[in-house]
Amino acid sequence: MRYTGPKMKLCRREGYNLFGVEKYNLEDNHREVKRGNKLSEFGVQLRKKQAAKRQYAVSEKQFARYYQKATKISGVTGEQMITLLETRFDNVVLRANFARTIMQARQSVGHAHFLVNGKKLNIASYQVRIGDVITIKERLKESVLYKTLVEEFGEFAKKNETASVTSVAWLTVDPKKLSITMNALPGPSDFDKMIDIQRIVEFYSK
């Protein structure tokens, strides 16, 4: 079961902004982060696992499944696990700046706002592949939902004719076509530095 309570509560518990939105910055919040007794190593592993799980907004069962899937892929298990999470459809939409939060990205995907390679797809967990092209449905480009995005991307395109809207190296975002192309798999240098991959692997490998 996914957590549906206050997001700031989760950020305080893990000690940092899990969602990348300014309103969840702990330093901007007047309530201090309380620190309890020193955690055991297992406790630290649990907290790191919980933080990453919440960052991608997946359930416990889903998160564990990604670990199991990663163990079957050649390479470093932890890195493969984060790569799988990073290339989820909803996360790619977020990384491309087509949504402000992972929750908003998931809702947009679930409501079938996007096409993948020209076909309707509303599965948030879809694993985006190299070469996949994601576009907003044509009729939605004029909607209130994407009006601001279209305007911001339009201004960007005027000033940067050949540049991608996102700084994420493994994605190319065309501000004129409002399209996202995955041109490579994300690697360790692309991962959020707050994610403690080693401790997550240690938690599951016991």
Question: What CATH number does residue 103 fall under?
Answer: 3.10.290.10
CA angle at 136 for the pair 139 and 115, rounded to the nearest 5°: 105
| Co-location of 99 and 167 in the same domain | yes
Query: Is 176 part of a structural domain of the chain?
Result: yes
User: Could you report the per-residue pLDDT of 136-175, keeping only the tens digit for each?
Assistant: 999 999 899 898 888 888 887 777 765 666 779 999 999 8
User: Could you report the per-residue pLDDT of 104-139, keeping only the tens digit for each?
Assistant: 999 999 999 999 999 999 999 999 999 999 999 999
pTM: 0.82
* CA–CA distance, 160 with 162 (Å, rounded to integer): 6
Question: Domain of 62?
Answer: 7-86+194-204
| Co-location of 52 and 134 in the same domain | no
| Co-location of 82 and 125 in the same domain | no
